[in-house]
């Protein structure tokens, strides 16, 4: 899709956005928030997007209705669309939200469809916005869609090795360095937990490090993503009904890769290190077993009480290695860690855990800005105490009754491997994958949740 800025309307198909007070005289259209209407004439087709009451409008509403409007244009098979941006008086960030809605709402993963989805060829923006701002927004939204593609890809295609190749492509950009630890390097360096999780697969694990240095400042943020390219559950095999979508268990890693790609494309003035722990949790005669004990990179040993609690294991090694070798100023990890977070928040909010109030607040505010919402949960000592092992130092499941505080326990386990730096853990298991129908800018299946949030956090803090 080509997006350009224009001073006047050139296309007969148009999108306009109206408040309720402006919708008089348009049949069957009340301009309720998110409502879509269409008016046909001999000269043109106008798609109306309802913004609701002027006093209640938000960027979330505008982004959502913009996505629905472009989806209506796609449904009508329009090739060229003029989009009339509301006056900045309506909402200062309305133009930005509309562009985000157009690009994110146009997304469709149809790689494996015989009949491809129609796409709008050109979008003409009429209003007060610069071409530079449009270009930057397009880069951000296109990397969200890139992350969605990764999540939606077949697990047989997006293996740990392929993940490493995708990351390696970023070295074409200035200020980027990519390092990959393969199975031999993982063993040599003592990353025993990642090695254990991936040892049952014919596609060995990788630890992928992407360094982006765009600033002279000494501070550096680390982003660590869980990249389980398929999670069978291992010897604790997942049942039918939950195993079918387990290609999405690498969504945290997809977000990290998307963010790093955006930073490199924008040549942003920040220093960020992206770390991806990529492994296939397979079942087989070489898989790790319940009851096994493994030594982590940190030196702590871990009793395996479930092979289906593997994400926290690879995160433990990844955050330990990142801190020891790269010494970040702050560290944020993202993971589809627990199904329990879906029980808590559904598909609308991600769990936020942190040892630092300031970092947690900054992340929360970034999520409010992008409408990728976070809510903080506690990490009391009792949760950490429940992870103490008998034969080893730690256990990967708590001593609590099954299901109790599962999301908190997962975060508490990762915290055991965090040194004295600000740290946050985002459990995105509920928000990264939409099993229902699309909701405006949020498509079915991979959502890309977290890319815009983290870019907002990194670039506007």
Q: What's the distance, Cα to Cα, between the start and end of the chain in Å?
A: 31
Residue 223 CA to residue 403 CA, distance in Å, equals 28
- The full DSSP string for 292-315 is -EEE-TTS-EEE-S-TT--HHHHH
* Model pLDDT for residues 136-147, shown as the tens digit of each residue: 999 999 999 999
- For residues 50 and 18, the answer to whether their CB atoms sit within 8 Å is yes
Mean pLDDT score of the chain: 96
The per-residue pLDDT for 92 is: 61
312 carries an active-site annotation = yes
* Model pLDDT for residues 6-39, shown as the tens digit of each residue: 999 999 999 999 999 999 889 899 999 999 999 9
The per-residue pLDDT for 310 is: 98
Confidence label for 91 from pLDDT (cuts 50, 70 and 90): low
- The full DSSP string for 52-111 is --GGG--HHHHHHHHHHHHHHHHHTT-SEEEEEPPPTTT-TTHHHHHHHHHHHHT----T
* Model pLDDT for residues 421-441, shown as the tens digit of each residue: 999 999 999 999 999 999 999
The per-residue pLDDT for 128 is: 86
Sheet of 122-126, strands arranged across: 2-6, 122-126, 80-84, 13-18, 45-50, 36-40
* 87: pLDDT strictly greater than 80: no
Look-up of token digits 């970092």: 359
Q: Looking at 275-427, list the stretches that DSSP marks H as alpha helix, in order from N- to C-terminal side.
A: 311-326, 340-345, 357-370, 381-385, 406-415
* 133: pLDDT strictly greater than 90: yes
* Model pLDDT for residues 312-354, shown as the tens digit of each residue: 999 999 999 999 999 999 999 999 999 999 999 999 999 999 9
- For residues 209 and 142, the answer to whether their CB atoms sit within 8 Å is no
Residue 54 CA to residue 32 CA, distance in Å, equals 11
- Percent of the chain topping pLDDT 70: 99
Least confident of 113-117, 307-311, 325-329, 399-403: 399-403
Of 20, 39, 238, 439, which residue is the catalytic one?
238
- Percent of the chain topping pLDDT 90: 94
The per-residue pLDDT for 418 is: 99
Q: In the chain, what are the domains?
A: 2-129 (3.40.220.10), 141-459 (3.40.630.10)
Confidence label for 169 from pLDDT (cuts 50, 70 and 90): very high
Confidence label for 290 from pLDDT (cuts 50, 70 and 90): very high
Q: Quick check: helix, strand or coil at residue 257?
A: helix
Nearest to 311 by CA among 202, 379, 231, 408: 231
Average pLDDT over residues 67-87: 95
Nearest to 407 by CA among 275, 320, 311, 314: 311
Residue 23 CA to residue 29 CA, distance in Å, equals 7
277-307 burial by CB neighbour count: b if 16+ within 10 A, else e?
bbbbbbbeeebbeeeebbbbbbebbbbbbeb
Confidence label for 90 from pLDDT (cuts 50, 70 and 90): low
Average pLDDT over residues 363-379: 98
- The full DSSP string for 226-245 is EEEEEE--TTSPPPTTTSTT
- For residues 276 and 317, the answer to whether their CB atoms sit within 8 Å is no
* 77: pLDDT strictly greater than 70: yes
* 184: pLDDT strictly greater than 60: yes
Strand partners, 445: 434
Confidence label for 93 from pLDDT (cuts 50, 70 and 90): confident
Q: At what angle do helices 131-152 and 451-459 cross, to 10 degrees?
A: 140
Strand partners, 334: 225, 426
Of 312, 362, 395, 452, which residue is the catalytic one?
312
238 carries an active-site annotation = yes
**Other C-beta atoms within 10 Å of 241: how many?**
7
Q: Quick check: helix, strand or coil at residue 137?
A: helix
* Model pLDDT for residues 216-247, shown as the tens digit of each residue: 999 999 999 999 999 999 999 999 999 999 99
Residue 192 CA to residue 198 CA, distance in Å, equals 10
* 123: pLDDT strictly greater than 90: yes
Work out whether the CA dihedral 166, 171, 175, 178 comes out positive or negative. positive
* Model pLDDT for residues 259-279, shown as the tens digit of each residue: 999 999 999 999 999 999 999
The per-residue pLDDT for 98 is: 96
* 461: pLDDT strictly greater than 80: no
**Other C-beta atoms within 10 Å of 379: how many?**
18
Cβ neighbours of residue 66 closer than 8 Å, sequence gap 6 or more = 15, 17, 49, 97, 98, 99, 100, 101, 102, 105, 441
């Amino acid at each position: 899709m080509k997006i350009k800025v224009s001073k006047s309307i050139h296309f007969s198909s148009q999108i306009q956005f109206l408040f309720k007070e402006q919708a008089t005289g348009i049949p069957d259209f009340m301009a309720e928030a998110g409502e879509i209407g269409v008016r046909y004439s001999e000269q043109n087709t106008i798609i109306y997007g309802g913004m609701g009451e002027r006093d209640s409008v938000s960027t979330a509403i505008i982004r959502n209705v913009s996505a629905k409007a472009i989806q209506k244009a796609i449904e009508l098979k329009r090739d060229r669309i003029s989009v009339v941006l509301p006056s900045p008086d309506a909402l200062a960030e309305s133009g930005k939200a509309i562009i985000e809605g157009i690009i994110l709402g146009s997304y469709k993963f149809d790689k494996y469809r015989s009949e491809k989805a129609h796409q709008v060829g050109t979008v003409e923006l009429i209003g007060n916005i610069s071409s530079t701002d449009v270009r930057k927004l397009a880069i951000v939204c296109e990397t969200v869609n890139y992350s969605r593609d990764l999540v939606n890809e077949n697990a047989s295609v997006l293996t740990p090795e392929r993940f490493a190749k995708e990351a390696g492509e970023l070295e074409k950009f200035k200020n980027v360095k990519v390092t990959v630890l393969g199975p031999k390097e993982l063993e040599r360096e003592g990353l025993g937990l990642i090695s254990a999780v991936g040892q049952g697969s014919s596609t060995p694990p990788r630890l992928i490090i992407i360094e982006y240095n765009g600033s002279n400042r000494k501070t550096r943020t680390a982003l660590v993503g869980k990249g389980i390219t398929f999670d069978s559950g291992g010897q604790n095999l997942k049942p039918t009904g939950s195993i079918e979508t387990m290609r999405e268990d690498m969504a945290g890693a997809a977000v990290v890769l998307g963010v790093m790609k955006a930073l490199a494309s924008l040549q942003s003035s920040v220093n960020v290190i992206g770390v991806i722990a990529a492994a296939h949790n397979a079942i087989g005669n070489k898989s790790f077993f319940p009851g096994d004990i493994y030594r982590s990179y940190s030196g702590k040993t871990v009793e395996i009480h479930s092979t289906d609690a593997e994400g926290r294991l690879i995160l433990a090694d990844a955050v330990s290695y990142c801190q020891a070798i790269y010494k970040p100023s702050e560290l944020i990890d993202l993971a589809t860690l627990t199904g329990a977070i879906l029980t808590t928040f559904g598909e609308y909010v991600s769990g936020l855990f942190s040892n630092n109030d300031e970092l947690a607040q900054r992340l929360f505010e970034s999520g409010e800005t992008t409408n990728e919402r976070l809510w903080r949960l506690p990490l009391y000592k009792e949760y950490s105490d429940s992870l103490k092992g008998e034969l080893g130092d730690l256990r990967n499941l708590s001593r609590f009754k099954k299901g109790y505080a599962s999301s908190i326990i997962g975060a508490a386990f990762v915290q055991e491997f965090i040194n004295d730096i600000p740290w946050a853990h985002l459990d995105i298991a509920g928000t990264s994958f939409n099993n229902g129908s699309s909701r405006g800018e949020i498509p079915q299946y991979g959502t890309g949740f977290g890319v815009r949030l983290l870019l907002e956090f990194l670039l506007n803090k």
